[in-house]
Amino acid sequence: MHAEVLVSLALRQVDKVFHYNVPSSLAGKVQVGSRVLVPFGRRKVEGYVVGFSPAPNPADLKDVAALLDEGPLFTPHQLALARWMAAYYLCPTVKALRAMIWPLLQVKGPKKVRGLWPAACCEAPDFRRAPKSAAVWQVIQARPGLSRKELAEAAGVSPRVVDAMVARGLLRSEERIESRDPCQDLPEKRIKPPVLHGEQIRAVSKIIEALDQKGGRQVFLLHGVTGSGKTEVYLHAIAAALARGKQAMMLVPEIALTPQMIDIFRGRFGRQVAVLHSRLSDGERYDEYQRLRTGEAGVVLGARSAIFAPLEQPGLIILDEEHEPSYKQEESPRYHARTVALRLAGYAGAVVVLGSATPSLESYCQAVGGGAYHLLELTRRVGELPLPSVRLVDLRRELQEGNKGIFSRDLQEAIARRLSRREQVILFLNRRGYSTLVVCRECGLVLKCPHCDISLTYHVSGRLRCHYCNYSVLAPSLCPGCGSRHVAYLGMGTQKVEQEIRRLFPTARVLRLDSDTVGRRGAHREIVDSFREGEADILIGTQMVAKGLDIPGVTLVGVINADISLYMPDFRASERTFQLLTQVAGRSGRGEQGGEVLIQTYSPDHYAVTCAQNHDYQGFYRREMALRRTLGYPPYTHLARLLVTGRMEKEVQEAADFLAQAVHAAGVPVELLGPAPAPLTRIKDRYRWHLVLKASAQGVLREAATAALDGFSGTGRYRRVQVSVDIAPQSMM
């Protein structure tokens, strides 16, 4: 038998199986899932063994040159999934495969580090005169084995204090295997589950019924209003899966993978939970992966890519906030975790639970009117708490009546009222920075990123920043175009909101939560914990404050401007706005005192806004579906997007035209929109054009896209232009 190998070159042209002879020295060691080194052309490349077969012409075969790891790197389910992804998303198989196993590729084995231990003293040293050493001593007693830097950081002292203690013989240094448990700092307190309420019981028992059934995949859509206790349903379902010897996956959007969420899971399932998210170090991720592979951990809690976790027997797959755009990966392989989850569940015969207060139209239409999903509903909040009342503030009128500020009078009054009652406020604005538009009042020049066609955002640090490529420059005092002193800072971000709040309410304690304030590891937790503990009155933030937060003290949520997402050039703009408003509104009134929401908007009559105001999901669903049907957009049709990028605009445009011709020539029934410049016309020095293909079936769409790509790579022209395919795109920008 000979090994079938996929070479790790990630090119469409070599995305096929190559045969190699397994030399006797490696016989029995090379398995399906092994990573090997093979001769390919004139060099040696990495490859993955995907099977064994009798080769057509054994004499011609070259030998596998080396085996790179001890065990296999992927499971049969993962291989099947990678092959399906390659066919579905039109990406090279190895690209999909590598997306699944990359945590294993980053690191080799357990990591050894030097750690510090308290020296064995006969008596406790006297630190009364040395508070810094005392702090270090206290930390090292509780957490022996920390590195010099970790120890100094944890004790809040300079590493030199630690060095001095080593020199005095108080600490000794030794090598140890680093455990890299991302949750080791967290208290492991077991929390008893609450008694479920009626609707929760119904939902959980339906899911358990499905877990007990033999046979194929079953899909549930858990539609539960904000604060209805969906998380508790997930936790019970996971416990039931574990009790049946099955493993479970819990996916949440990256932004919702908060320390609080991790605490809840660790509190319920202890070390059975492995956590995967983007802030882990490579080593931590590797170790969590190993714990899943060996079965030590039976539950994976993670963001999008956790769908690829190496579970032997996934029995339950949950996606919380299933409507979230962050489930889509915006680089190759451009997969959607929900789509992959549904496929994986098909292979594994698993139960899928998609949960949301605002399900995507794609999912909801499968759960009503004879669709393939089962609908589970939680229509009321836990403890019979009412949903908050929502008021709209018409910003047009506010302006007519002479108020040019960020806050309407209504919102100011509402904030003042909450502050006087010592209740808490969340203010939401989906833009970070101070001003989002810097423009010269004399010549009209807008300051843009030199690499992107994006206006720069002014930050309180005094710098202008590009939010796409992170380019930054000191804000000029004169217009770089005409030298005028009249440079205006328009458009507001969260920093400006913070400044205004501090001016209007100087005694209020204010926190801000956006990607500028959570840069440091642990900062996110500190801010949220501090707000939860009542150490601040007002929390200002971007999307980060809109999701998942469950803080009973919050009785007012203010939306600074509902229109930002409403007028994006994207057919999902209304859906996104409705979802965002409903989610952020849902943070209010989760305690005994009830709560209200104020939404400031220039579009108080838009159905996305009024339906959010009335907590009317069904109403929104009907309106939006009718519109999608008329315009021929998903879920009534299928889309694919071809994005063409390059440094020379003319080449990009020509390549886009060429692709359009190729799509026409394919002669399949697809509608072609474009080619046209993408709404973001240039990013990181690359011009961007796109074509959108629309069809009534996925199959023809892929046929057309494949024909275009094949034609493109066949011409050999436009070598400096890149084309990427996005099947079922989530962003049209």
Nearest-5° Cα angle at 55, 54 to 56: 120
Q: In this structure, are strands 2-7 and 374-378 parallel, antiparallel, or unpaired?
A: unpaired
Across the strands, what pairs with 353?
220, 318
- Which of ligand ATP, Zn ion, none does residue 550 bind (CB under 5 to 8 Å by kind)? ligand ATP
- Residue 358: CB minimum distance to ligand ATP, A: 9
Which of 641-656 are b and which e, b meaning 16 or more Cβ less than 10 Å from the residue's Cβ? Answer: bbbbbbeeeebbbbbb
Q: Which stretch binds ligand ATP (CB under 6 A): 16-24, 226-234, 284-292, 475-483?
A: 226-234
Mark residue 462 as left, alpha or beta (left: phi above 0; alpha: psi -120 to 50; beta: remaining): left
Q: Which two tokens stand for residue 564?
A: 């930002």
- Which of ligand ATP, Zn ion, none does residue 468 bind (CB under 5 to 8 Å by kind)? Zn ion
- Residue 208: CB minimum distance to ligand ATP, A: 16
The yes or no reply on residue 200 touching ligand ATP (CB under 6 A) is yes
* Smaller CB separation from ligand ATP, 198 or 506: 198
The yes or no reply on residue 196 touching ligand ATP (CB under 6 A) is yes
Query: Which of 18, 102, 471, 607 touches Zn ion by CB under 5 A?
Result: 471
Task: Collect contacts of 274-277 with beta carbons under 8 A, ≥24 apart.
Answer: 274/299, 274/300, 274/301, 274/302, 274/309, 275/182, 275/183, 275/300, 275/301, 275/302, 276/103, 276/300, 276/301, 276/302, 276/303, 276/305, 276/306, 276/309, 277/302, 277/303
Q: Which two tokens stand for residue 362?
A: 């794609």
Burial of 348 (0-12, 13-18, 19+ CB in 10 A): buried
- Identity of the amino acid at 313: Q
Query: Which of 231, 436, 494, 613 touches ligand ATP by CB under 6 A?
Result: 231
The yes or no reply on residue 579 touching ligand ATP (CB under 6 A) is no
- Which of Zn ion, ligand ATP, none does residue 103 bind (CB under 5 to 8 Å by kind)? none
Q: Which two tokens stand for residue 434?
A: 């101070």
- Residue 473: CB minimum distance to Zn ion, A: 11
* Smaller CB separation from ligand ATP, 546 or 670: 546
Interaction with ligand ATP in 348-367: which residues (CB under 6 A)? Answer: 357
User: Is 183 part of any known ligand binding site?
Assistant: no
- Residue 388: CB minimum distance to ligand ATP, A: 11
Query: Which of 76, 194, 295, 522 touches ligand ATP by CB under 6 A?
Result: 194
182: preceding bond cis by omega (within 30 degrees): no
The yes or no reply on residue 684 touching ligand ATP (CB under 6 A) is no
User: Is 91 part of any known ligand binding site?
Assistant: no
* Smaller CB separation from ligand ATP, 22 or 204: 204
- Which of Zn ion, ligand ATP, none does residue 674 bind (CB under 5 to 8 Å by kind)? none
- Residue 192: CB minimum distance to ligand ATP, A: 11
Instruction: Report the 10 Å Cβ neighbour count for 200.
Output: 22
Query: Which of 72, 92, 182, 224 touches ligand ATP by CB under 6 A?
Result: 224
Instruction: Report the 10 Å Cβ neighbour count for 416.
Output: 13
Q: What are phi and psi of 51, to 5 degrees?
A: 170, 180
The yes or no reply on residue 468 touching Zn ion (CB under 5 A) is yes
The yes or no reply on residue 595 touching ligand ATP (CB under 6 A) is no
125: preceding bond cis by omega (within 30 degrees): no
Query: Which of 253, 491, 548, 675 touches ligand ATP by CB under 6 A?
Result: 548
Q: Which stretch binds ligand ATP (CB under 6 A): 181-189, 230-238, 247-255, 442-450?
A: 230-238
* Smaller CB separation from ligand ATP, 1 or 191: 191
159: preceding bond cis by omega (within 30 degrees): no
- Residue 227: CB minimum distance to ligand ATP, A: 5
* Smaller CB separation from ligand ATP, 226 or 543: 226
- Which of Zn ion, ligand ATP, none does residue 466 bind (CB under 5 to 8 Å by kind)? Zn ion
The yes or no reply on residue 257 touching Zn ion (CB under 5 A) is no
Q: Which two tokens stand for residue 368?
A: 């009503």
The yes or no reply on residue 646 touching ligand ATP (CB under 6 A) is no
Q: What are phi and psi of 500, to 5 degrees?
A: -65, -40
- Residue 685: CB minimum distance to Zn ion, A: 9
Q: Angle at which helices 148-155 and 131-142 pack, to 10 degrees?
A: 120
Burial of 402 (0-12, 13-18, 19+ CB in 10 A): exposed
Residues in the chain: 733
* Smaller CB separation from ligand ATP, 324 or 514: 324
**8 A C-beta contact, residue 416 and residue 505:** yes
Q: In this structure, are strands 638-646 and 722-727 parallel, antiparallel, or unpaired?
A: antiparallel
- Residue 301: CB minimum distance to ligand ATP, A: 14
Q: Which stretch binds ligand ATP (CB under 6 A): 224-232, 430-438, 524-532, 680-688?
A: 224-232
Calpha distance 314→43 (Å, rounded): 39
The yes or no reply on residue 35 touching ligand ATP (CB under 6 A) is no
User: Is 449 part of any known ligand binding site?
Assistant: yes
The yes or no reply on residue 451 touching Zn ion (CB under 5 A) is yes
The yes or no reply on residue 469 touching Zn ion (CB under 5 A) is yes
Closest-CA residue to 573 (of 423, 430, 422, 475): 430
**# chain residues binding ligand ATP, by CB under 6 A:** 18
User: Is 365 part of any known ligand binding site?
Assistant: no
The yes or no reply on residue 465 touching ligand ATP (CB under 6 A) is no
Q: Angle at which helices 698-715 and 649-666 pack, to 10 degrees?
A: 130
Scanning 213-258, the segments in alpha helix (DSSP H) are 230-243
Query: Which of 256, 452, 479, 695 touches Zn ion by CB under 5 A?
Result: 452
Site string for Zn ion, 331-370 (x = CB under 5 A): ----------------------------------------
Residues that bind Zn ion in the complex, under the rule CB under 5 A: 449, 451-452, 466, 468-469, 471
Residues that bind ligand ATP in the complex, under the rule CB under 6 A: 194-197, 200, 224, 226-232, 357, 382, 548, 550, 586
Binding site feature residues: 440, 443, 449, 452, 466, 469, 479, 482
Binding site feature residues for Zn(2+): 440, 443, 449, 452, 466, 469, 479, 482
